[in-house]
Chains A and B, each alone.
Chain A
Amino acid sequence: MFNGLVNGAFYALLSLGLAVIFGMLRIVNFMHGALYMLGAFAAFALGQLLGLGFWPSLILAPLLVGLLGVVLERGLLSRLYGLEPSYNLLLTFGLTLLTQDLVKQVMLSRFAVSSAPYSPPEVLSGVVNLGFVVFPKYRLFVIALSLVVCLVTWFVIEKTRVGAIIRASTENPVVTRAFGINVSLWVTGVFAVGAALAGLAGVLAAPIYSVEPYMGAELIITTFAVVVIGGMGSILGSVVTGFAVGVLAAVGAAVYPPIANTLVFILMALVLLVRPSGLFGLPEGAR
C-alpha cells in the first residue's frame, strides 16, 4: 500500500512531464522513458566520473537531461511541426531505441556493468516509524518531493502569468507572437522542463530500482496508460491518476499478485468505455 505510493510518485512525476509536453506542445514524447533512464544514468555516471554524491546529482542530472531536451526539440522535433503528431511519436520511438542501446554500450564498455546499484544519501538511509507503519526514510522522501514538484508545476501552469503565456503560445502562436512573445523559445522551454521532470524521476528512482539501460521501457507504457486514464494533456488528471494507479496496483497485488501490472490497462479500458476522453480530459471536440 505504502510502496504503492512510491510507485505512484514515479508514475505521477513521469506522466506530469508527458502531460506538460503533450498538453502544451501536442508532442507525444515516446522518449520520456529513455529520458527517465538517462536521469538515473547521469546520476550514476556523475558519481563514477566526478565523485558527485546524491544531492548534487539530484540537481545536475535533471539539468543535463533538460539540456538534452533543448537539443532534441531544437534540432529534431521542430522539423516536424505542422505534420501529423504521429510523426513525433515515431521520431521519439526511434530515438528511444537509439538511446537505450547507446547507454547499454557505454555502460558495458566504460563502466563494465550492465546494471548498477546506486545508494541513497546517508541522511536518508534507515527507516522511520510512522506509528502505523515502519517505512524507509528514502521512500518517504521520494513521495514528499514528488508531491511538491507536482504541486509547483500545476500551480505555475494553471495559476501564473508564465502558465498563461505558455497556453497562449500553444493555442494561438500567431497572435501570441504579435504581442512580442518569443513563442519558439517558450516551446523549447516547456519541452526542456518536461524532459527535466523525467530526468528528476530517474535520479529519484536510481536508489530504489538501480540503474539499467532498459529501466524506462516498461514504465513508459504504464505512464501512457496513466495519461490516457487521466485525460491526455490534463496536468491535474495525470498527477491524481499517477498516485491512484500506484496505490491501486499495490492493493491489487496484495489480493492477487499477477494482476498488479495489468490492472492499470484494465482500468484504462473501463474508463475509456465510459469516458473516451479520460477522467479529467475534455472531449476531443471541445479543445
Chain B
Amino acid sequence: MSAVSKLGVTRDPARVTRAAWLIGLGLVLLALPHLIYPVLALDILAWGLFAVAFDLLFGFSGLLSFGHAAFWGTSAYLTAYLLGHGQSVPVAIAGGTLSALALAVPVAYLSVRSSGIYFSMITLAFAQMVSFLALQWTDLTGGENGLQGFARPSFLGLDFSDAQVRYYVCLALFTLGFGVAYRAVRSPFGQAQQAVRDSEQRAQSVGYNPARFKFTAFLLSAGLAGLAGAMYTFGHGVVSLEVVNWRTSGEVVMMTLLGGTTTLFGPVIGAGIVLLLRDVLTTANLPVGIVTGVVFVLVVLFFRRGVVGTLQHWRRRR
C-alpha cells in the first residue's frame, strides 16, 4: 500500500536536480548585478550564452568549432552598426542575431561535411576570413579603431544608459536563448543529435540523416552565439577587432570545458569563473595570458569533466 502511495508522488530524481539547478542559477543571475559591478555581470550573461551555444555543437553534436568568434563577432558588429545608424535596440539586436544566422548557412554547409579535427580547422579558417573582413571593411567595422559612441535609444520607457537596466534586458534575452537551447537538447531533435554524435552509422541505419542534423545544430548554435554577441555590444557600447579574433574562439572553448560540456549549466558557470578570475587578475595587475594559459592546460589534462560534470559524476557515484 505504501508502494502505491509512493508511486503517486514518484519523481524523476534527474528532473528534480535539473529544477534545482535552474532555480539556483536563476536566483544567482537575478542577484548578480548587485553583487559585482553590472557590466561584468552582463559580460557573464553574454559569454555564458555564447558558451551554451558553443556547447550545443561541441557537447551535443561532437563538433569542435574553433571559429565561433565569427558568429559572435559578426552579430556584435552588425548590432553596433544598426545602433549607429539610428535603429532601435530591438531591431539592432534582432538584426545582429539574424546576420550571424545568415553567415552560418554557407559556413555550416561547407563545414559539416567534415568531422573531427578537419571540422575544427575549417571553422577556424572561416572565422579568419571574417576577421580579415572586419579589419578591411572599415566603413562597417571601423577597422583597428572599432566602433563606439553609438546611441542606445530608450525603448518602452527603458533607459539603456543605466547598466542595471541593460543587465535585466540581457537577462531576459539570456533566458530566451537558454530556453531555446534547453528545449532543443531535451526534444526529440536533441536526442537524435546525440545519437548522431555517439554513432553516425547507427543513427543513419535507423533512418536519420546525420548531415542534416549537424547542419541544423550548427545553425541553432550560430544563431544563439549571434544573440550573445548582440547582447555583448548592447552591454558595452563598444566593439573592437577582439570580437573576431581567434583567441575569442578559444576562450569560449575554455569556458565550456571548465564548466563542463554537455551540461548546459556548466558553460554558464565556466564563463562566470573565467570572467571573474580575469577581473581579479587585471585588478591585481597579474599577467592574464599566463594564468589563463595555465588554467587551460590544467583543465584539458586533469579536469576534462569540468565543474558541473565533476559534481554530476560524484552524485552519480554515491
Contacts and interface: CB of A to CB of B under 8 A. Distances in A.
A119 interface: no
Interface stretch (A86-94, A152-160, A186-194): A86-94
Interface of B: 64, 66, 110, 113-118, 120-122, 124-126, 128-129, 132-133, 136, 246-247, 250, 253-254, 257, 287-290, 292-297, 299-301, 304
A96 B293 contact: yes
Nearest to A278: B118
Interface of A: 26, 28, 76, 79-80, 84-87, 89-91, 93-102, 104-105, 217, 221-222, 224-225, 227-228, 232, 258, 261-262, 265-266, 268-269, 272-273, 276, 284
Given A28-B117, A85-B117, A89-B66, A221 B289 contact: no
Contacts of B117: 26, 28, 85-86, 89, 232
A76 B114 contact: no
Contacts of B288: 101
Query: Main SS of the interface on chain A?
Result: helix
Contact of A90 (B126, B246, B257): B257
B153 to A, nearest CB: 34
A258 B136 contact: yes
B297 A91 contact: yes
A107 to B, nearest CB: 13
B297 A268 contact: no
A232 B118 contact: yes
Nearest to A95: B297
Contacts of A79: 301
Query: Main SS of the interface on chain B?
Result: helix
B124 A221 contact: yes
Contact of A101 (B110, B118, B289, B304): B289
B301 to A, nearest CB: 6
Contacts of A102: 290
B121 A28 contact: yes
Nearest to A79: B301
A272 B297 contact: no
A262 B244 CA distance: 14
Nearest to B295: A94
A98 B253 contact: no
B292 A97 contact: yes
Given A262-B129, A273-B110, 5 more contacts: A28-B121, A101-B290, A265-B129, A276-B118, A284-B115
Given A85-B116, A262-B132, A91 B300 contact: yes
B289 A97 contact: yes
A26 B295 CA distance: 24
A29 to B, nearest CB: 11
